Amino acid sequence: MPRIAGVDIPDNKPIRVSLRYIYGVGPSNAEAILREANIDGQTRANKLTEDQLALIAGIIDNNHVVEGALRRQVAQNIGRLRDIRCYRGDRHRRGLPCHGQRTKTNARTRKGRRKTVATKKAVKAK
C-alpha cells in the first residue's frame, strides 16, 4: 500500500478515489491535487511511480491542511465557540445539532439513543 501524508491509501483503486482516504481530502480536493500534479485520476494507486507519489505528497503537504493538523484545527474552533458561550458552542456542549435542524423528531445521531421516561401509574382509590 502506498503511503501519502502518513496514511496508507488503497492501491487497487483509482488514485482519485484513494486520495479520499486522507482526512481532509474530498472529491474536489483530490481532483485539484491530481490536476496540479498532472496525473490521470483513473490511474490505479499501485501503478504510480515513486516520483509521482512524492509529488502528490509534496502538493498535499504544501497546499492542504490534512489529518492531525486539520482535526486539531476543528477541535480548536469548536473549543473557541464553547469558550465564548455562543449559541453554536452551547449546542456543541449539549450534543445537539448546530445548524438549525429540527430536534422534536429526528436528530438521533447527535442526541444518541432514546432515553425512555417511565410514566407514573395511576393509583386506584378504594
- Residue 33: is its pLDDT beyond 90? yes
Asked whether 34 and 68 are in contact (CB, 8 A), the reply is no
Domains in the chain (CATH in brackets) are 3-63 (1.10.8.50)
Single-letter amino acid code for the residue at 88: R
What proportion of the chain, given as a percentage, has pLDDT over 70?
98
pLDDT in tens, 87-125: 999 999 999 999 999 999 999 999 999 988 888 777 776
- Residue 79: is its pLDDT beyond 90? yes
- Residue 126: is its pLDDT beyond 70? no
**pTM for the whole structure:** 0.77
Q: Buried b vs exposed e over 65-102: b needs ≥16 C-beta within 10 Å?
A: ebbeeeeeeeeeeeeebeeeeeeebebbeeeebeeeee
Phi, psi (rounded to 5 degrees) for 8: -75, 125
